């Protein structure tokens, strides 16, 4: 597996990432990211790991913003027909999205073999609308819906993926519209082509209409070798349905592919459409998932300090985000990623400090200062939770405390933590 071996320079010989994931074959790649199949070493569960090279995007503020937004969006979406984001990890040079592995491949591959029946098209379309309606209700607009971004799992269910071009309500301008031009030409809504702004939900519905057409026809409703001619067809809404389509399906498509976004059908009306609602059952979304979406930033009082995904990315200056440490040469500091509870780490620190005849002062729940005998030498230690299983231990010393830092941190505390095989180190 030569590709997997080159994901990070520090990856172990057995392709183990962070001591948690055994990385396998390359699933796909783009200009700034690669996706690998991997296995959770503890559970045996298959996952997909999207690896983003920080150096390739650090010079482009737009790309950095897209990555941050994709993480923020995916962590707030918990729906049975949306690919799950399990966790985000980072090193100095890479960002890792650990996601649900959907092994059935792209919907595009199914359609490429031939058109789907109306029954099969309806099933996938129902799942697509369920997922997109859920996104819209939470202020998320995908903006790049196409069969290549729709995956099919082992149960034959659809999963929406790739939120890299998605928008959120915070990007809507004073006129109530989005203005960023994005999407795939054959699936883009006509109002986007006018460059006057557009409603993200309405634009997604248009793309859903194109997908429904493609599933049952196996060809695009608007297509031309000349891009401008294709845009002209899209703007005028010029398409023809094949003769095998039922009247009800044609009627729904006419409402989905309405060139006027003001009169285009909305999700609620789609769900009540006669063709759509045959056998439709709204999937159950767990209450805990809803609470996580509604209040993504809220932390329970009894939980340790938690780092969100943006903090994880900022562990490297590669994205030019605010550093977590003072990087002056007079200060020492580093970070350890450890698979251990914050409580256990603080207990270990307390025990070692007492044995060394130093003092430990508590600053916050999982933040302490270690003070030397002269009262001037200080080492600050803080523990942040990354995921349910991983924490980051940050350490920083006061200026001139090199000897104290070496004696207590390097020779004692750090050494004990490094006895764990799953510790990752990042110097500040």
Residue positions annotated with a catalytic role:
144
Residue whose C-alpha is closest to residue 68's, from 185, 170, 197, 195: 170
CA distances to 157, 202, 220, 390, 402 from 185, rounded to whole Å, are 26, 16, 11, 41, 59
Residue 413, classified by CB atoms within 10 Å of its CB into exposed (0-12), middle (13-18) or buried (19+), is buried
Angle at 67 between CA 83 and CA 144, to 5 degrees: 55
CB 299 within 8 A of CB 306: yes
**137-175 exposure pattern, b = at least 16 Cβ within 10 A, e = fewer:** ebbbbbbbbbbbbbbbbeeebbbbbbbbbbbbeebbeee
CB 298 within 8 A of CB 308: no
Retrieve residue 33's tokens. Answer: 């990211």
Calpha distance 25→27 (Å, rounded):
6
What contacts 403, CB < 8 A, 6 or more positions away? 377
Residue whose C-alpha is closest to residue 88's, from 293, 292, 310: 310
Residue whose C-alpha is closest to residue 202's, from 273, 128, 136: 136
Q: Answer positive or negative: Cα dihedral of 323, 329, 333, 337.
A: positive
């Amino acid at each position: 597996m030569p590709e997997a071996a080159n994901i990070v320079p520090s990856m172990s010989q057995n392709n183990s990432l962070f001591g948690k994931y055994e990385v396998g074959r390359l699933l796909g790649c783009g200009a700034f990211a690669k996706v690998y199949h991997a296995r959770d070493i503890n559970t045996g569960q298959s996952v997909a790991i999207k690896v983003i090279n920080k150096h390739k995007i650090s010079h482009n503020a737009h790309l950095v913003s897209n990555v941050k937004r994709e993480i923020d969006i995916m962590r707030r979406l918990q729906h049975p027909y949306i690919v799950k984001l399990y966790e985000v990890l980072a090193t100095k040079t890479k960002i890792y999205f650990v996601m649900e592995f959907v092994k059935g491949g792209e919907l595009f591959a199914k359609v490429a073999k031939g058109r789907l029946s109306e029954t099969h098209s309806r099933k996938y379309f129902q799942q697509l609308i369920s997922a997109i309606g859920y996104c819209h209700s939470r202020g998320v607009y995908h903006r790049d819906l196409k069969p290549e971004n729709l995956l099919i799992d082992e149960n034959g269910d659809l999963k929406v993926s790739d939120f890299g071009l998605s928008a959120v309500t915070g990007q809507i301008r004073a006129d109530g519209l989005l203005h960023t031009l994005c999407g795939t030409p054959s699936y883009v809504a006509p109002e986007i082509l006018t460059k006057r702004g557009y409603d993200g939900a309405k634009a997604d519905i248009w793309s859903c209409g194109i997908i429904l057409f493609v599933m049952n026809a196996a060809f695009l409703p608007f297509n031309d070798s000349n891009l401008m001619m294709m845009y002209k067809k899209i703007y005028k809404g010029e398409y023809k349905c094949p003769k095998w389509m039922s009247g009800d399906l044609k009627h729904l498509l006419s409402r989905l592919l309405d060139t006027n976004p003001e009169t285009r059908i909305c999700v609620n009306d789609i769900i009540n459409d006669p063709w759509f609602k045959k056998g439709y059952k709204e999937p159950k979304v767990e209450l805990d998932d809803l609470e996580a979406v509604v209040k993504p930033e809220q932390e329970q009082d009894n939980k340790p300090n938690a780092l969100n995904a943006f903090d994880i990315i900022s562990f490297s200056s590669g994205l030019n985000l605010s550093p977590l440490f003072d990087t002056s040469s007079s200060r020492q500091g580093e970070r350890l990623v450890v698979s251990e509870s914050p409580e256990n780490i603080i207990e270990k620190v307390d025990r070692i400090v007492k044995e060394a005849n130093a003092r430990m002062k508590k600053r916050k729940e999982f933040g302490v200062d270690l003070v030397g005998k002269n009262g001037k030498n200080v080492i600050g230690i803080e523990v942040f939770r990354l995921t349910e299983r991983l924490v980051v231990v940050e350490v920083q010393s006061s200026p001139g405390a090199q000897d104290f830092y070496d004696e207590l941190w390097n020779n004692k505390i750090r050494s004990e933590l490094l006895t764990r095989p799953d510790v990752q180190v990042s110097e500040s």
